[in-house]
Amino acid sequence: MSDEVEIGFMEARAVLQSECLKVLPAVRRQVDAHRQTFIWQMDKGLANSIFGIPIEKAHDARLTSEQVRRIARENGKNYCYTCMAITPKVLALSLSIERLSHGTLSPQEELNCFRSLIERLAVLEAALEAMSRTVRPEKIKTFDDLIEVREAVSTLIGTRFDWSKLQLIDFSKMPSKTDYFHDSAETRVDLSARNILNQIDKLQKKERYKGIRPFYNFCCEFVHPNIGDILATTSEKQIIKTQGGQLAYKTKYHEDPSKISKDDRDFFILFSKAYAFGTMLIREAEKVTLEYGNLLNTVRRVNRKCAHKVVKRQIACFSKDDYCPCGSGRSIRACAFRRERP
Ligand SMILES: [Zn+2]
């Protein structure tokens, strides 16, 4: 009986690993073309001008000064900020998948990977959902659409800290939370753990994610100092009967906690289930990252189109040696005015 359970465990683990190996290249490929971004730097000198034109003269251009101002401020940022929100999340997801693919992690580390994967998956799904209510990726056409996307994915950039203060104070000198925490009302970048739990609960309501919250809680049992420590570090748990009829519960603790439990039926059953559920999550992760890959490509294309239209129409406002406001990192001459090759 125990053999059958052990075989089931080994199989479930092998399926998980092969699924991870299968989806990993596709997941990473989604952000391959979006690993390098350039933001038009609005330094003090530039802040007073729009692409080299003083703000007070902006009305000379055909666009309204408000339009030019918005474009100057926002255009280069739309694509870059969208990448900043999405690319690191996809790469972090891929890291969990890669680590699970090795098959060399301890069970506790594996569940830690799942936990990290679920949290990223939850925020990525939440941002997709937010976008589906405002701007659908296939309908992104205008500058305003790009701003909608940027708004929706901005929820992917969260922190509790004010990082500039963090650099100045040693941890031992941080007496209260509020001293180095962001004023979330002011900056809108607080993404608390509670927030993530809400998003996991929202996934739990979807048919394809049913079970994600209990699975997440299960993973947490092994990440937090809970009973998972016992399950992950013990083996040969069995009830032994003496000749005199006395019962003893035998437990053996691993010398090396990274090793997988041997002869542990409870462990095998639980982890077979965990691997099966995890395999399903890896497939969902692939689908989600594909959607984001498409979104990034669209945002880059539309952003470039919008920026080049402005540059070409208002060329008097620019120097051709300026960085192109599309955020390509090339000069306007080499980007917007690049000779089209047939
Ligand atoms: Zn350009």
Lowest mean pLDDT among 93-97, 167-171, 186-190: 186-190
For ligand 1, the distance from its centroid to the CA atom of residue 176, given in whole angstroms, is 47
Which residues have a Cβ under 8 Å from the Cβ of 149 and sit 6 or more positions away?
78, 82, 131, 135, 137, 140, 295, 299
Q: Are 98 and 20 in contact (CB under 8 A)?
A: yes
For ligand 1, the distance from its centroid to the CA atom of residue 40, given in whole angstroms, is 11
Whether residue 49 has pLDDT greater than 90: no
CB atoms within 10 A of CB 96: 25
Model confidence at 184, pLDDT cuts 50, 70, 90, reads: low
Whether residue 48 has pLDDT greater than 50: no
For ligand 1, the distance from its centroid to the CA atom of residue 131, given in whole angstroms, is 26
Most confident of 19-23, 54-58, 172-176, 299-303: 19-23
What is the model's pLDDT at position 88? 93
What is the model's pLDDT at position 68? 55
ipTM, two decimals = 0.99
State the average pLDDT over residues 186-201.
69
For ligand 1, the distance from its centroid to the CA atom of residue 245, given in whole angstroms, is 83
What is the model's pLDDT at position 55? 41
Task: Give one word for 329, left, alpha or beta, with left for phi > 0 and alpha for psi -120 to 50.
Answer: left
For ligand 1, the distance from its centroid to the CA atom of residue 330, given in whole angstroms, is 7
**CA distance linking residue 313 with residue 26, whole number of Å:** 39
For ligand 1, the distance from its centroid to the CA atom of residue 202, given in whole angstroms, is 39
Distance in Å from the first CA to the final CA of the chain: 69
Whether residue 315 has pLDDT greater than 80: no
The burial of 341, by beta-carbon neighbours within 10 Å (0-12 exposed, 13-18 middle, 19 or more buried), is given as: exposed
For ligand 1, the distance from its centroid to the CA atom of residue 336, given in whole angstroms, is 5
For ligand 1, the distance from its centroid to the CA atom of residue 323, given in whole angstroms, is 8
CB atoms within 10 A of CB 195: 15
State the average pLDDT over residues 288-307.
92
Residue 58 has φ and ψ, to the nearest 5°, of: -60, -30
Which residues have a Cβ under 8 Å from the Cβ of 58 and sit 6 or more positions away?
50, 65, 68, 69
**CA distance linking residue 27 with residue 310, whole number of Å:** 34
For ligand 1, the distance from its centroid to the CA atom of residue 155, given in whole angstroms, is 27
For ligand 1, the distance from its centroid to the CA atom of residue 333, given in whole angstroms, is 9
Helix (H) or strand (E) holding 249: strand 247-253
Handedness of CA 277, 283, 284, 286 (dihedral sign): positive
Separation of CA 245 from chain center: 57
**Predicted confidence (pLDDT) per residue in 34-45, tens digit:** 988 876 554 444
Model confidence at 342, pLDDT cuts 50, 70, 90, reads: low
For ligand 1, the distance from its centroid to the CA atom of residue 234, given in whole angstroms, is 60
For ligand 1, the distance from its centroid to the CA atom of residue 121, given in whole angstroms, is 32
For ligand 1, the distance from its centroid to the CA atom of residue 320, given in whole angstroms, is 11
For ligand 1, the distance from its centroid to the CA atom of residue 193, given in whole angstroms, is 39
What is the model's pLDDT at position 44? 41
Identity of residue 156: L
**Predicted confidence (pLDDT) per residue in 242-290, tens digit:** 888 899 888 888 888 777 776 778 889 999 999 999 999 999 999 999 9
State the average pLDDT over residues 171-181.
67
Q: Are 265 and 5 in contact (CB under 8 A)?
A: yes
Model confidence at 57, pLDDT cuts 50, 70, 90, reads: very low
CA separation (Å) from 290 to 17, 28, 130, 147, 165?
20, 10, 17, 21, 37
**Predicted confidence (pLDDT) per residue in 110-130, tens digit:** 999 999 999 999 999 999 998
What is the model's pLDDT at position 42? 47
For ligand 1, the distance from its centroid to the CA atom of residue 89, given in whole angstroms, is 26
Domain ranges of the chain: 2-317
For ligand 1, the distance from its centroid to the CA atom of residue 313, given in whole angstroms, is 13
Mean pLDDT of the chain: 81
